[in-house]
Chains A and B, each alone.
Chain A
Amino acid sequence: MGAGHAHALYVHEHSAIHNMAPEVKLVATFLFVIAVAVTPRQAIWAFAVYASLLALITLVSRVKPGFLVVRLAAVVPFVLFALLIPFVAGGETVEVLGLTVSREGLWGAWNVLAKATLGAGASILLAATTEISEMLRGMSILKVPPALTAIAMFMVRYLVLVSGELARMRTAMTARGYDPRWLWQAKPLAASAGALFIRSYERGERVHAAMVARGFTGEMPDLGGRRGSRSDWIRAAGLVAVAVTVASFALVFS
């Protein structure tokens, strides 16, 4: 079990991307995926440019390309849906490899595939190079409501503990011969989930009491940390400018 696995996607490295301030990376990633999302699907060259941008960042960040590819599997269910589109969509049809499919549907499938893959790739790179706590600090610098970031901070801090507790309950039940195969055998499992909620809630009460004892007034203190430097912003702006220029060209010329 052990600790430290709360952040499944983080890859410990020392690279220019890892060292960039979190708020800069958040803004850059959001602008990049927005540029990808607004790009018309016919502009295949634009998606090639985006993909090479991602490849460049992967190289600089020293994240192994294999890691990125494996993690991209998260979009597979939607890829399967995308592959169905050409068959269920209406409109003009074309012959591809002996199959009659909808031309509009093919474009729709390409659209979902390209944008989902690039968006997930950008998110994976962000998560691989930024620890969750840093990400949340970036969010609060970017003026995300403090209640949301504070809840997220507590969630992240206790996630390993809570899910570990759940896993131990399950192990204990399995060790005693409980191996449910049907939904109506799930009652003991659900009861342990209920017990877990109570434990989590009571832990929350104790945490709050401990915080009040140490002077908590309802506002999370600013723990400091590095803010984005001018060079961080300039480098990120360079990458985003490429994506935005490509998106504008694609929008104007197609």
Chain B
Amino acid sequence: MHAPDGFLNVGTALATGALSAGTIGAALRQSGQTLRDKQIPLAGLAAAFIFAAQMFNFPVAAGTTGHLIGGALAAVLLGPTVGALVVTVVVIVQALAFADGGLTALGYNILNMAIVPAFGGYAVFRLFRRLLPRSAGGVVGAMGLAGLISVVLSAAAFSIEWLFGATAPVPFDTVFGAMVAVHSLIGIGEGVISALVIGAVLAVRPDLVVGASDLDRTQLADRRPAKIRVFAIAALLVTLFVAAVVSQFAAEAPDGLERVALDTGISGAGDSPLSSGPFADYATAGIDNERLSLAIAGVAGSLVTLAVGFGLFAAARGARRGDRSVA
């Protein structure tokens, strides 16, 4: 996600730069007094933690690994404003000292990796906190969903920036479909790991979790695994919703591409009268690369659904087993 220089055009770099600088300025003013007093060392250590967590590989499937992005996790741990500031610092230092992400790309990199996941993720977290029970289990579930959706939001934000600042004529639909599909997969890992981390912190120092500061002691003690089933159902619904949106775009994308193909006269028999449903378009996959990318998007979308279902089933089963062994 650390986009290099020249990835989006200069206007978009400037616009996102102004937006990021404005948001960070507002966040600094809002948290000014607390930051001056106690929180500067704390925020610095939290930033070191996020940085370390980003370098740390978690298993994903069959020995492959992925790493945490951490925007939503930082927001729930520290509150959205301090969380966004902390991840912004991480992104800036990565660009300056590790050459990770371009300097002219800082505007959109900060927007996509710090501001959108922290504020967007926290908004989603608050939303699911209302829907889920007021307990530690509810906080963990809301964190998982917020982690998942924050990554998807980040991918969507990048796609929208591409709409305005594309440096190559790749249609918005293709970029959006591919980005959101791939990042729904990444988001599952992000959600699960963020939820587990929050669960571990809640178990020891619940007072450190800003997103759970409204809970009292008995509510925090409530960690019944029944909540995991609620979480599983909610995660499944969210993922199906995301998959539905993605497949919508994936199904629409050939229209734009076919139009281009027709305009340039390279498509003779590309359009069949059967191309009414999404499967008609998928069936022609492999004819050219546009179709291939769409097929990949479609497969990724199905994988998302499967992996979430399977993973959560295994997690719920594991949690119940763990509970019995304790009892």
Real binding pair? yes
Residues from chain A with a CB closer than 8 A to the CB of B293 are 88
Docked pose: A220 CA to B41 CA in angstroms: 11
Contact B99 A151 (CB under 8 A): no
The answer to whether A78 and B7 touch (CB under 8 A), given A127-B97, A186-B58, A194-B201, is yes
Residues from chain B with a CB closer than 8 A to the CB of A198 are 201, 204-205, 208
Tell me if B244 counts as interface (CB < 8 A to partner A): no
Docked pose: A85 CA to B171 CA in angstroms: 11
Contact A208 B38 (CB under 8 A): yes
Q: Which of B45, B62, B256, B260 is the most central at the interface, judged by chain A CB atoms within 10 Å of its CB?
A: B45
Tell me if B163 counts as interface (CB < 8 A to partner A): no
Docked pose: A211 CA to B29 CA in angstroms: 23
A18 to chain B, nearest CB (A): 15
Interface size class of B (residues with CB under 8 A): 35 or more
Contact A126 B48 (CB under 8 A): no
Tell me if A223 counts as interface (CB < 8 A to partner B): no
Contact B196 A78 (CB under 8 A): no
Docked pose: A180 CA to B13 CA in angstroms: 40
Tell me if A34 counts as interface (CB < 8 A to partner B): yes
Tell me if A43 counts as interface (CB < 8 A to partner B): no
Contact A183 B192 (CB under 8 A): yes
Residues from chain A with a CB closer than 8 A to the CB of B25 are 145
Contact A114 B6 (CB under 8 A): yes
Tell me if A118 counts as interface (CB < 8 A to partner B): yes
Tell me if A38 counts as interface (CB < 8 A to partner B): yes
Contact B49 A197 (CB under 8 A): yes
Complex interface bits, B156-191 against A, C-beta within 8 A gives 1, otherwise 0: 000000000001111100100000000000001100
Contact B200 A191 (CB under 8 A): yes
| Cβ-neighbour of A132 out of B3, B5, B97, B200 (below 8 A) | B97
Tell me if A204 counts as interface (CB < 8 A to partner B): yes
Docked pose: A38 CA to B61 CA in angstroms: 42
Q: List 7 A-B contacts (CB under 8 A).
A: A115-B7, A145-B25, A148-B85, A150-B44, A163-B52, A163-B56, A197-B77
